[in-house]
Amino acid sequence: MLRALFSNDFPHGRLLAALLVVIVVGLAIAPFALGGARALNTAATICVFIVLAASYDLLLGYTGIVSFAHTMFYGIGAYGVGLALAFMGASWWAVFSGLATALLLALALALVIGLVSLRVRALFFAMITLAVASAFGVLASQLSDFTGGEDGRNFSVPEVLRPSHRIVDSDILGRSIDGRLVTYYLVFFASIAAFLVLLRIVNSHFGRVLQAIRENDFRAEALGYRTVVYRTLANCVAALAATFAGALMALWLRYVGPKTVLGFEVMTDILLIVVIGGMGRMYGAVIGATLFIIAQNYLQAAMGHAGEAMSGIPWVGRVLHPDRWMLWMGLLFIACVRFFPAGIVGRMRPPAR
């Protein structure tokens, strides 16, 4: 049963297994163990970005495709659910209708982009996806009557997901059992399910063909595999997973906007997570997303405390000023690439044969 659940792809190595268990258990108990809205938001964001990074790793790490349109599919999922809830009312029918519409649109776009663009060189495909994603972002910003433009759009969610809705009158372990808690566990379990599906895909015959195409597409073609078809299918699967992640984020935030789900910064975050965790290693998405999101949310505050503690040393205080947190993020990324060229999971675990 456990082998089937993990597609017979267990995290080899005690350290890696222990780290993954700590992350999963930490995310599972986060609402009760962590106090404050920021900590809970960080945990939910980690869950969503695990799926988002894993879906991109299917393209970049397992198939060797560099795409800049991943945030577009992420945005389609978020806008699909968000706009459906805004215009159809706060109901589960609106949630599922918006998600279904977003998945169909993402599938159609991924299919068209794949069939038209994956026959060209990798650099040209990357440029085409960048152009399509930029056009979609501009479209979302310009259709202000529909999408809310640059300001985005707030919306209500079904009653059971609202913070004001209490499931149980009394608190449990010091935490109120309300709609916010239900939303978090919806995101948590949905993210686990999506990740396990992606893990199953990369460990299937389809996934092994993708890895063969990544290593040598001419040899794969000579063996009888239509590489364009497989690359297009990989693009479609990754797009559907990214769309699903966007829908989860919309439910959590109860807001959609171009900077939140369509900004190029989101694309760079995904790239950094995949590189830090390890390309072609699905568990790298879990490690990379956790470390990156925690650093993104708490590094600036940690530097502020460290700067105050060392204020007596002038140059140290200036170096650790909170406004320079992006500099330290960059240095941490350089250190990861220098000491973990195959990613953290690549260092802990050899690639699958």
Q: What percentage of the chain reaches a pLDDT higher than 90?
A: 41
pLDDT given at position 113: 87
DSSP symbols for 144-191: HHHH-GGG-EE----GGGSTT-BSSSS-BTTB--BHHHHHHHHHHHHH
Question: pLDDT tens for residues 271-321?
Answer: 989 988 888 889 999 999 999 999 888 877 777 666 666 666 666 666 666
Global pTM reads 0.91
- Cα 108 to Cα 76, 113, 138, 235: the distances in Å are 12, 9, 20, 11
Question: pLDDT tens for residues 168-226?
Answer: 777 777 778 888 999 999 999 999 999 999 999 999 999 999 999 888 888 888 888 88
Tokens for 52? Answer: 């988002």
The residue whose two tokens read 């499931």 is 167
Helix, strand, coil tally for the chain in percent (to 5): 75, 0, 20
pLDDT grade for 353, boundaries at 50, 70 and 90: very low
